[in-house]
Amino acid sequence: MSGGANRVGDQVQQARDRVFTGRMAELGLFRSALSGEAKAPAVLYVHGPGGIGKSMLLRRFAAEARAAGREVVEVDGRLMEPTPEAFEKEAGAVLTDERAVLLVDTFERCQGLEGWLRDRFLVRLPADALVVVAGRQPPDAGWISDPGWADLLRTVALRNLAPEEATAFLRARGVPQGTRSALLAFTGGHPLALALAAAVAVGDSAGSAGWEPSRDAIATLLPRLIGEVPSPVHRRALEVCAHAYVTTETLLRAVLGDEAAPMFAWLRGLPFVESARHGLFPHDVVREVLEADLRWRDPEGFAELHGRLSRHLLEQIRSAPESGMLPAVGAFMFLYRTGRHMADYNSWRGGEVVSTACEPADHATVLDLVTEVEGPDSAAAARFWLDRQPEAFRVCRTTRDDEIVGFSAWLQLTEPHGEDVDPVVAAAWSHTRSTAALRDGEHLAMARFSLTSPRYPKISPVEDLHQWRGVAEVARAEGRVAWMYVAIRSGDFWRPYLTSLGLTTIGNRPRVGHLTYDLYTVDWRTQSVRAWAEQRTRLMLSGVPGVPQTPAVVSGRSAEYAVLSRPEFDTAVRDALRGLSRAEDLALNPLARSRLTAGPGAELADLLAESVDALRAERGGEKYHRAVAATYLHGAPTQEAVAARLGLPFSTYRRHLSVGIARVCDALWRREIYGTDAR
């Protein structure tokens, strides 16, 4: 072999250099640090999803560092034990070389070392050493909260390539010009997806301007990612894994039935599927391509799969223990990630923080955080509610050091307490009274405080837990929640997201101290959570060709419910009993648009007959059942004729009938307020 330039490794690097495009800002930052410019960082923390190009960028960094005469030490988190000893063995050479460059790739595989790396290892490096850490997760709050790292750390969030960069990427790989824009639209600028799709499209020598990712193109692309799929059941399991946040046997069983266990075992062994504490999840680009394939190939099948998973996860929210209700909501919301605004306002970075009960020892920290973020007047309102509804407060703690970095308060109010102390609650009560008052057994719910430490951005795992709590609380108390309010400090940031979820603002904007609040609200008596979820589904699927768009329905009925006061409700029950034999009258009865008839197969006539029949089970109820059943279920020309048929004095019959109707009204009212399991 004649010279270094002829080595295979050099040829590989030259080929990489020829097709490397974009990332100019990242390269500029690395070069300034490499040359030792003033105020250049000592540590670059590069993060982004799988397939976004972190490893390719680190290889370019390595080439630039070697060209500058620097010693390069490379560590791959996939190839070492995630222990301090193993890491130091791999990277220890940089501790004695002041010009060394340390490049750490796939750091998410050893994320547990982050605190040790920051506080124990990096502080021992020579002053002129340079470190680049690359992983899927952004740096934890410990970097941000430590002023010592303020000038030494620079965070670099890798995103999809910009359109001009992606175009250059495709040009460098020989993709015909006429095909590039369509290919860019298909991949969204994701580097790995671009590379794989380019390998397919480069054979399209015609380069048609109307090129679309055909069935053949996607069929060629998918095997490069997932290999051969043994059967349709295996493919469905993959599709579940791609659409869900994490996949468990329980989730698979909701779609695949008895095939769940073997399919879970198969998924677990795939090289592009990773295991986490709560289940399995695929590599990001595999998820994207599988989703794109299913949406394109079988849009109705995608809609059916989404519906099954949505219904299953909604039930999981209702049935999960309190410790699991917020993760259940996160998994549910993830199904809607392609909907408008959803991905912009949720991070889905699970595992960094957890929600726990607010103990008495936490109260001082909570009040300090309110004072810091919103001021003393808001803290006084928080203290008032802490004293009266301490169970309404939950704190967000970091999993690393158990630090409280946020809290939320979900108030449940049946009477207007606190109006003289908290203007936000007073505004909510004023709106409730003037719009549609509470009924017996209902309560007003309010996400009164949703505070996050200023160290965190607006979109963070802490904010995820705040907003997911509202969905969890409503789903688990469905039927008892009337008005729900969400108090947000005035501004436009959250407005697109909250309005996309079906919330509207009230006219009154209360002030607490120097802050003004917007109150977003929804009356949960007018729709079920399931109807709300189905509406979100329709909005998400509105851009999927081939999926028929239908009006909002729940079990064939309008998703809008009538909200009746108790007197109106009792009148409607009496009218329905009188019109029991006339289907057209029942269809016009307000009860046909109430929560009573929201469940599958919940026909009004059947509910009335069931409630009348249930009178027999009550103490002394047989006589009331006979009077009501004979009058309304069996038919008679007059009440006098019914009394005669029953062999009762007319006054006794009327008394039995009146009590029986009242008991039927009571039973149906309980069902209206508390749901189908009410007794």
Ordered DSSP codes for 515-545: EEEEEEEEETTSS-HHHHHHHHHHHHHTTST
Q: What is the pLDDT of residue 557?
A: 36
Mean of pLDDT values over 541-554: 52
Asked whether residue 217 carries a pLDDT value surpassing 80, the answer given is no
Mean of pLDDT values over 452-470: 90
* Per-residue pLDDT reduced to its tens digit, 390-436: 999 999 999 888 999 999 999 999 998 889 999 999 999 999 998 88
SS3 512: strand
Asked whether residue 72 carries a pLDDT value surpassing 60, the answer given is yes
Asked whether residue 255 carries a pLDDT value surpassing 90, the answer given is yes
Residue 204: phi, psi to the nearest 5?
-85, 80
pTM, entire model: 0.63
Q: What is the pLDDT of residue 274?
A: 80
Task: Give percent of the chain above pLDDT 90.
Answer: 44
Q: What is the pLDDT of residue 125?
A: 92
Q: How confident is the model at residue 213 (pLDDT cuts 50, 70, 90)?
A: low
**Cα gap 304→293, rounded to integer Å:** 15
First to last CA, the chain: 88
Angle ∠(439,442,446) on CA atoms, nearest 5:
120
SS3 407: strand
Instruction: With beta carbons less than 8 A apart as the criterion, state whether 466 and 450 touch.
Output: yes
Task: Give percent of the chain above pLDDT 70.
Answer: 88
The 10 Å Cβ neighbour count of residue 59 is: 18
Q: How confident is the model at residue 17 (pLDDT cuts 50, 70, 90)?
A: low
Asked whether residue 208 carries a pLDDT value surpassing 60, the answer given is no
* Per-residue pLDDT reduced to its tens digit, 663-673: 999 999 888 87
Q: How confident is the model at residue 558 (pLDDT cuts 50, 70, 90)?
A: very low
Lowest model confidence (mean pLDDT) among 144-148, 189-193, 602-606: 189-193
**Cα gap 567→573, rounded to integer Å:** 10
Lowest model confidence (mean pLDDT) among 218-222, 295-299, 336-340: 218-222
**247 DSSP 8-state letter:** B
Q: What is the pLDDT of residue 677?
A: 44
Instruction: With beta carbons less than 8 A apart as the criterion, state whether 416 and 437 touch.
Output: no
- Report for 36-50, 333-347, 396-410: range of highest mean pLDDT: 396-410
The residue among 247 and 167 whose pLDDT is bigger is: 247
Instruction: With beta carbons less than 8 A apart as the criterion, state whether 537 and 308 touch.
Output: no
Mean of pLDDT values over 545-550: 51
Q: What is the pLDDT of residue 16?
A: 61
Asked whether residue 374 carries a pLDDT value surpassing 80, the answer given is yes
The residue among 350 and 327 whose pLDDT is bigger is: 327
Cross-strand bridge partners of residue 398: 353
**Cα gap 447→428, rounded to integer Å:** 11
Across the chain, mean pLDDT equals: 85
State both tokens at 42.
């000592």
Asked whether residue 124 carries a pLDDT value surpassing 90, the answer given is yes
Q: What is the pLDDT of residue 554?
A: 35
State both tokens at 361.
């020892």
Lowest model confidence (mean pLDDT) among 120-124, 302-306, 323-327, 463-467: 323-327
**Cα gap 76→78, rounded to integer Å:** 5
SS3 74: strand
